[in-house]
Every structure is written in C-alpha cells, then in structure tokens.
C-alpha cells in the first residue's frame, strides 16, 4: 500500500464477497410464481412474471429518477414485489369488494422480507468470502482504523449475507444504496457517508473491484482508491476505463492490485 489511512471504505460484492446470482433461469421464475400463488394468492405464469418484474423495476427506477434527479438511482426491491402482488389482487377483486380492501397494501413487513430473501437465495449459487478478507479486516480493526461499507445493493438481501459471511461486526457504518435511493458512482452516495461520519477526505481510501463505481465515486469525491482486479480485467481494459473516467494521469490514479488480493492494501 502506498500509504496508511485512518478510514477504509469498502465495496462488498466482488471485493469482500465472491457472489454469483442468475435471475434469468426459468426455474427461478417457476418457483417465484408458485411462491406468490401460495403465500399471496397472486397467480402468474412464470414467463409473464419475469417480464412484468423487469417492467416494474424499470418503471420504479424512472419514477425515482424523476423525483430525486439522480443519474444513478437505486430502488427498493420490496416495492417491486408489492406492486406485482397488488396487480393480481386488483384483477381478482370483484365489484362487491370494497375499495378499502382493494387498496389495502399493508402487507406484513416480514412477509415481504421473506419473499425477497427467498428470491435472492433461489437465484444465488455462490456466496463465499474472498481469501484474506477476514485477516485484513482484523488487522485494520486492531490498528484502530475506521472501517466502512459502501455497497450498491438491496438491504433486504445484504443484511443476511453480511451476517452469513461474518462481516457485519467489522463495520463502523454500513451504507446500502437501496436505503439512500442512489448508488455508486453517484457522488452524493459516498459524500453522505463521509459527512455523516465526519471523516476527513484526505484520510480516506475507497477499495473496490469496479472502476466506474468504486474508483469513479472516489475520484468524484477527491479521495484515494484501490482497484482490486478480482474479475481478471486485462491491462488494456483497465487503462481504457481509467482514461474514459478522466482519472488516468491524475493524482487520484488508483492503486491497482492486479491479482485482486486484498491483503496487498496493507
């Protein structure tokens, strides 16, 4: 590491946790259609469910962007599933059902949470902590460093995955994009973390595996960054992306860890 910092801000997926999900597999949507029918009485054909899910995700994102004017908005996935359930409830309601019942969206929070977690776990086939992560976080903690998480993610998914990975205890604060309505590389996402924790930018470093999101948001906020090449990008691709972002040749050029070994940030 070129220098020591007081505060270390980490990305999560692809940086601390190696994860793989597949939301396109037909079996997933068969299972989700069964789940919605069994638990909420919302009947969908699997292919129609996936199509409508994607449409509502896009619509929710467009509405949020119109509201907060962010270039990089982040929706709450719970709202998408609630809309999917509501649409089928409206279809099955008859004229004899009161408007009050028709418009009752007060699903129990734990029911929607369970639905979202089921979706995540059925789509996920890999969740492991990268080698060296626990060792690195332990060393930073023992050295009295501030440790923060800045993740483009859904809290309803991420909280449980952090616990499963044994990572929650290390963080002084956890920023998840679905809570804030914006995501990296939106400048304000990292800016909020810095301001709310009264951090000094010059004493912070952002560590992540994505040049646009992680290195990009650090650059926008004038803080140093480390790029962990966990997805084996070519040198040419890295150079092209840094040039495109306007970072190449600047004083905020990231430290590049070519093999993605997080232990090399120390």
Per-residue DSSP letter, 184: T
Q: Which two tokens stand for residue 134?
A: 């626990």
Exposed / middle / buried, residue 172 (Cβ in 10 Å: 0-12, 13-18, 19+): middle
Per-residue pLDDT of the chain (266 residues; tens, 9 = 90+): 568 999 999 999 999 999 999 999 999 999 999 999 999 999 999 999 999 999 999 999 999 999 999 999 999 999 999 999 999 986 554 444 444 444 455 689 999 999 999 999 999 999 999 999 999 999 999 999 999 999 999 999 999 999 999 999 999 999 999 999 999 999 999 999 999 999 999 999 999 999 999 999 999 999 999 999 999 999 999 999 999 999 998 999 999 999 999 999 99
pLDDT the model gives residue 105: 54
pLDDT the model gives residue 99: 41
pLDDT the model gives residue 90: 64
- Asked whether the beta carbons of 200 and 6 are under 8 A apart, the reply is yes
* DSSP class per residue in 222-256: T-EEEEE-TT---HHHHHHHHHHHT-TTSTTPPEE
């Amino acid at each position: 590491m070129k220098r020591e910092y007081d505060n270390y801000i980490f990305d999560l997926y692809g940086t601390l946790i190696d994860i793989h999900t597949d939301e396109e597999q037909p079996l997933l949507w068969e299972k989700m259609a069964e789940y919605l029918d069994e638990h909420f009485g919302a009947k969908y054909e699997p292919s129609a469910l996936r199509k409508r899910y994607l449409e509502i995700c896009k619509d929710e994102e467009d509405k949020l962007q119109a509201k907060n004017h962010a270039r990089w908005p982040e929706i709450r996935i719970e709202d998408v599933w609630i809309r999917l359930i509501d649409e089928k409830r409206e279809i099955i309601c008859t004229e004899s059902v009161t408007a009050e019942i028709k418009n009752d969206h007060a699903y129990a929070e734990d029911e929607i949470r369970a639905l979202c977690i089921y979706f995540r776990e059925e789509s996920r086939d890999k969740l492991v902590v990268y080698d060296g992560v626990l060792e690195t976080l332990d060393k930073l903690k023992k050295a009295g460093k501030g440790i923060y998480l800045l993740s483009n993610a859904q809290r309803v998914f991420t909280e449980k995955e952090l616990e499963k990975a044994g990572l929650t205890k290390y963080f002084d604060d956890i920023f998840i994009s679905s809570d804030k309505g914006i995501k990296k590389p939106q400048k304000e996402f990292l800016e909020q973390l810095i301001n709310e924790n009264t951090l000094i930018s010059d004493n912070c470093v952002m560590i992540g595996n994505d040049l646009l999101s992680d290195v990009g948001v650090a650059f926008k906020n004038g803080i140093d960054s480390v790029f962990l090449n966990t997805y084996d990008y070519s040198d040419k691709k890295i150079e092209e992306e840094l040039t495109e972002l306007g970072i190449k040749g600047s004083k905020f050029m990231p430290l590049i860890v070519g093999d993605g070994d997080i232990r090399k940030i120390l």
